[in-house]
Chain A
Amino acid sequence: MRRAAPEIPGKLRERASVRERAAGPLALAIALAIAFGVAQVTPAYAHMGTGLPGGFESGFRHPLTGWDHLLAMVSVGIWGAFLGRPLIYALPVIFPVMMVGGAILGMFSVPMPPVELGIAVSVLVLGLCVCLAIEAPAWAACAIVATFAVFHGYAHGMELPSAVDPIGYSVGFVLATGLLHVFGIGIGLLNARPKGILVTRSLGVAVALAGGWYLCLALGL
């Protein structure tokens, strides 16, 4: 793993080709079209009136409710944009899939190393990756993101409510996670603009500081 220091802006401008710039909004448009179609689908034989929470809206809101999760997921998108192809797309593919793997471990309460610590470290590391513009090799970036995704998924799995509509909940949960990555990629594409890299790296500093704070809390300092 090495730091890519001053040559980054030029390199990034090369990478942020027209196609890449168009891909984020296109993904968003198709995802929203599918989400809209799915949202039109009415719930069927349900335990309506049981008082249980949940469904699409509840699942969609879940990844947005904790700043630690939110910062990590957006940072994955920003870092992906820093790293360019193929990681700009590979990371948002890997994260939700591994997160679901982690969620399953959480739902079955499979023992894991301290989850709070893992999540705090993920925010710190991803923030550092963005602010230092670390150009990790593809395998390392995938491994880092996959590992952190398991921790985030585990926490979500542990907190997963007995939802009225678990399928709608699952759709909302995965869609919100994916859209946070797309949002991060959108921010990361600012790198192609003059002084944009300053903005993204400053965001990386803020995320890393927040990660440091979460780490202190997790360690009880």
Chain B
Amino acid sequence: MRGGALPPALLCAALGLCLASADGRAALLGLAALVVTASAVAIAPVPATRSDGVLLGCWASIIVNAAMVHSRRALNDKAALALSLNTGVWTGAVIALAPSNMDLLEALPLALCAWPAAWARRRGQSIVLKVLASWLIAVAVLAATLQFLPVTPGYLPDHTD
């Protein structure tokens, strides 16, 4: 199984963690841009033959968003908007390939983790966000690799056999 709501949900979560370092207005603007862009792209016709490229773009965007969480500098307004638009495009594109556009309603709320993340950051716990971002990077790298390896060697004798 590929696609569906899970990759865009992870992408939105990564954006949420990323927007935690932006100021409140920029974060709100970013979330609005995400919703509008994702909704617009989700209803656009995306050819099923592009699914590999779309998913790869989604994983790459998760890595970029999560990597931005590790940046020492706060996210400026332009960067917040650019990342939100990029996230919206890939979120919408993956949803456009999904069986139902309603999957968008499951993915987008994950971006709201920007609020608890901003709260954690204000409390000086930005390292917690970095740990979570690194987990998202690990998931994205693993999932992107699995995309190119449809048959995994899981039924061979393992290291305990």
- In the complex, the answer to whether A171 meets B99 with C-beta atoms within 8 Å is no
- Bitwise, A102-123 to B at CB < 8 A (1) or not (0) is 0110111100000110010000
Q: Is B27 an interface residue (CB 8 A)?
A: no
Q: Is the CB of A33 within 8 A of B116?
A: yes
Does the CB pair A100–B124 fall under 8 Å? no
User: Is there contact, CB below 8 Å, between A167 and B152?
Assistant: no
Known: A46-B1, A166-B143, A166-B146. 4 other contacts (CB 8 A): A27-B128, A100-B141, A159-B158, A162-B154
In this complex, the interface size class of chain B, counting residues with CB under 8 Å from chain A, is: 35 or more
Interface residues of B in 38-54 (CB under 8 A from A): none
Chain B residue numbers with a CB within 8 Å of A174 are: 135, 138-139, 142
Interface string of A170-190 (1 = CB under 8 A from B): 110111001000000000000
B74 interface residue, CB < 8 Å from A?
no
Check: A99 CB closer than 8 A to any chain B CB. yes
Task: Give the 10 A-B CB pairs with smallest separation, nearest first.
Answer: A44-B4, A161-B154, A46-B1, A93-B134, A170-B142, A166-B146, A41-B5, A159-B158, A96-B138, A160-B152
Q: How far is the CA of A34 from the CA of B9 in the complex (A)?
A: 9
The interface residues of chain B lying within 8 Å CB-to-CB of A210 are none
